Amino acid sequence: MKRQHISDAVIRRLPRYYRYLDELHAKGVVRISSNSLGKRMGITASQIRQDLSCFGEFGQQGYGYNITALRAEVGHILGVDEKHRLIVVGAGHLGHALLQNFDFVSSGFRLDTAFDVSPALIGSTINGVLIRGINELEDYCAAVHPAVAVLTVPKAVAQETAARLISLGVRGIWNFTNMELTVESGIFVEDVHFADSLLTLSYRISAAPQLEKESS
Amino acid sequence: MKRQHISDAVIRRLPRYYRYLDELHAKGVVRISSNSLGKRMGITASQIRQDLSCFGEFGQQGYGYNITALRAEVGHILGVDEKHRLIVVGAGHLGHALLQNFDFVSSGFRLDTAFDVSPALIGSTINGVLIRGINELEDYCAAVHPAVAVLTVPKAVAQETAARLISLGVRGIWNFTNMELTVESGIFVEDVHFADSLLTLSYRISAAPQLEKESS
DNA sequence: TAGATTGTTAATCGATTAACAATC
DNA sequence: TAGATTGTTAATCGATTAACAATC
């Protein structure tokens, strides 16, 4: 294992490894080789071994990888066992949908509170999560020190809300606002750009038939 | 302009170009050089010119790019002017949130219908979109021929629903089910893996302080 | 015209894949 | 032991950046 910079490409593959290992683990499979995992995932065995070698030596020659152990290792690398505190800021349709559908716990986060401005929502509970007024944000953060905030507020207040969260000690923002946020170094923003995602699909279905025409 | 294979890296940058150009266009800015656009976006001017050159020659020496024209070109490349038909399959919390918040029209799609199994939802309207029973899917597709389906159904029925949609002529699936779908070639799946996205954030906030400790 | 900026070719950099000695 | 498979080094491939002639 070489102590080195971990590239973004490697980091973005880790959750996928974790997902596959979790599934194999749930199925009760005990061991797997880089070769057969690669076949399942549609990537090369070399890439898997190369990626894992950034973090340690988790396999055994002639045997492969123990799934339970490797799953735990990858989970540890991703930080799922750190049980970071998380808050949802903005409990509109999207925030509501995430609170209802998304399993924050199995991604290694703890949450008990969402924030919103709407008096109609404040005091109610979604999937066991209490909705508080945004004016309680300062007190809550001072007490609980959430590490991550899910930003599902309207675009117009995205940047100011992000700055406010960062000033309260939040270090990671899961950004659904379709705005590119400006943040200081040491703060991490993970964007979920719905429009960008859908547009790549638009490109592919638009470009594909053209390619057919060209080759005919 | 070289007729060539367009790499995934280039395709994924196109929507971001489009977003920036759209914003500049809305502000009324007339022209921009690859250099100043690159500064704004945090990428090199070379990369912008290289990317655009995959599709044509849109600039002018000594001047740069006309924003209105380039925005239209990039939009055209992405297929936003094709007004593809789109349906939403699954009108639960997430489907509902997308129907309420997401501007399908400005991404170049037309939609009038979502499908669900819940009798409580069927017949109602969300943001002008009618919710029909999933049993009407065949008739609707035969009549309208949607090119893209937004898949927001429960994980358990994701694969079978995808297969059904493909058999009805859908060529692109915007997949929110957190399942990796198996599809034939010529069909495009764009995954929105919430868990993968959040886990990269978990990694970064977990790894960052460790790096600090190491260097101290 | 002179300055600016393109599109493209060449150089560099980084990521992926292949190969293989080590060893379970 | 013999076969399998690792971790790592080397080779290849592709993507990014730099350089520059062309030209508006």
- pLDDT at B212 exceeding the cut of 80: no
Distance (Å, whole) CA B203 – CA B2: 40
Q: How far apart are the first and last CA of chain A?
A: 51
List, for residues B98-138, the tens digit of each pLDDT value.
999 999 999 999 999 999 999 999 999 999 999 999 999 99
The tokens describing A97, both together, are 């949908």
DSSP label at residue A129: E
Q: Inspect the interface and report whether the beta carbons of A202 and B148 lie closer than 8 Å.
A: yes
Asked if B145 and B85 touch (Cβ cutoff 8 Å), the reply is yes
- pLDDT at B209 exceeding the cut of 80: no
As a whole number, mean pLDDT of residues B147-174 equals 98
Instruction: Report if CB B8 to strand C is under 7 Å.
Output: no
The tokens describing B203, both together, are 């990694």
Instruction: Report if CB A10 to strand C is under 7 Å.
Output: yes
DSSP label at residue A60: B
Burial bucket for residue B181 (CB in 10 Å: 0-12, 13-18, 19+): middle
Q: Which nucleotide is nearest to A12 (CA to C1')?
A: C15
Q: Which nucleotide is nearest to A36 (CA to C1')?
A: D5
Distance (Å, whole) CA A170 – CA A187: 8
A207-211, Cβ contacts within 8 angstroms, sequence gap of 24 or more: A207/B6, A207/B77, A207/B79, A208/B171, A208/B186, A208/B188
Alpha-helical regions (H) of chain B: 8-27, 34-41, 45-52, 67-78, 93-101, 137-144, 158-167, 194-215
List, for residues A13-34, the tens digit of each pLDDT value.
999 999 999 999 999 999 999 9
- What is each CA distance from A164 to A112, B127, B129, in whole angstroms? 20, 32, 36
* Residue partners of B79: CB distance under 8 A and separation at least 6: A202, A203, A205, A206, A207, B108
Q: How far apart are the first and last CA of chain B?
A: 51
Partners of A96 on chain B (C-beta within 8 Å) are 93, 97
Distance (Å, whole) CA B61 – CA B57: 11
List, for residues B180-204, the tens digit of each pLDDT value.
999 999 999 999 999 999 999 999 9
Domains and CATH numbers, chain A: 8-76 (1.10.10.10), 83-195 (3.40.50.720)
Name which of A213, A176, A170 is nearest A191 in CA terms.
A176
The pLDDT score that the predictor gives to residue A212 is: 39
The integer distance in angstroms from the CA atom of B125 to the C1' atom of C7 is: 50
Distance (Å, whole) CA A74 – CA A52: 9
- CA-nearest residue to B94 within chain A is A97
Distance (Å, whole) CA A154 – CA A168: 20
Asked if A86 and A149 touch (Cβ cutoff 8 Å), the reply is yes
List, for residues B51-89, the tens digit of each pLDDT value.
999 999 999 999 999 999 999 999 999 999 999 999 999
- Exposure string of A121-151, with b = 16+ CB inside 10 Å and e = fewer, is bbeeebeebebbebeebeebbeeeebbbbbb
As a whole number, mean pLDDT of residues A109-115 equals 98
List, for residues B134-159, the tens digit of each pLDDT value.
999 999 999 999 999 999 999 999 99
The pLDDT score that the predictor gives to residue A3 is: 57
Distance (Å, whole) CA A168 – CA A186: 14
* Residue partners of A62: CB distance under 8 A and separation at least 6: none
Q: Inspect the interface and report whether the beta carbons of B202 and A12 lie closer than 8 Å.
A: no
Partners of B84 on chain A (C-beta within 8 Å) are 202, 205-206
Q: Inspect the interface and report whether the beta carbons of B206 and A82 lie closer than 8 Å.
A: yes
- pLDDT at A158 exceeding the cut of 80: yes
Name the residues contacting strand D (CB < 7 Å): A 1-2, 33-35, 45-46, 49-50, 52-53, 57-65; B 7-10, 43-44, 46-47, 49-50, 60-63
The better pLDDT of the pair B1, B47 is held by B47
Helix B8-27 to helix B34-41 angle (10° resolution) is: 100
Distance (Å, whole) CA B97 – CA A154: 13
Q: Which nucleotide is nearest to A64 (CA to C1')?
A: D5
